[in-house]
Structure 1
Amino acid sequence: MPLFCFHCLDKTDGGAVLRAKARPAHLEWAVSLGDTIRMAGPLLAEDGETMIGSVFLVTADSLAAARALSAQDPYTQAGVFGEVKIHEVRWSIGDGKPA
């Protein structure tokens, strides 16, 4: 099954507040996806603490299916992100490579 990367950057104006409000629902949603998510986590500012976005590696049947999955994210629905890029990727190196 194809693998897709979601690279999501928070809005610079108000994104942090929206992120904090939507975080519990976002985490619940992400956990509910089980093995669909191969890797996920926050993107951090240079201070190593402040969350400024999210990155996901997910399996989906197509780019359209990946976009639909991204649209279900409570962060997306709450308007946290100012920019979302979704690209198909091929896992070449590293632990956890899909069979």
Structure 2
Amino acid sequence: MALFCLHCLDNETDGAARRAEARPAHLHWAGGLGPVVRMAGPLLDAEGRMVGSVFLIEAESLAAAKALNAEDPYSKAGVFGRVTLNETRWAIGEGKPA
């Protein structure tokens, strides 16, 4: 399995409101993904407000990672204005796969 970094920034028009509305469904969905998710959490601005999301996920391919993102309730609710998805390799840090 490959490792992918999903970096999502909320849309600047109504992303915060959409995020707040979809948050319970998003947390339920993300919590059910199990070990596919190596790390996940909100991106915060200088005042501590949520302005995006980041995921480090394992997937068979870039297409599979994109499909997983498409199932996120945040994606379905139009929370994100910009999404970047890149394959990555874990070089250093606690939790690095053997």
Aligned to 1:26: 26
Instruction: Give secondary structure in 2 for the equivalent of 1:29.
Output: helix
Instruction: Give secondary structure in 2 for the equivalent of 1:6.
Output: strand
* Percent identical residues: 63
CA RMSD of aligned residues (A): 0.5
CA shift digits 1:30-82 (9 cap, x unpaired): 010000000000000011x2000000000000000000000000000000000
TM-score by length of 1: 0.97
TM-score by length of 2: 0.98
Distance across 2 between alignment mates of 1:33 and 1:98: 19
Aligned to 1:61: 60
Paired residue total: 98
Measured after TM superposition, the shift of residue 98 of structure 1 is 2.0
Segments of 4+ in structure 1 off by > 6 A? none
Distance across 2 between alignment mates of 1:98 and 1:3: 10
For structure 2, the 5+ residue unaligned runs are none
Instruction: Give secondary structure in 2 for the equivalent of 1:8.
Output: strand
Instruction: Give secondary structure in 1 for the equivalent of 2:64.
Output: helix
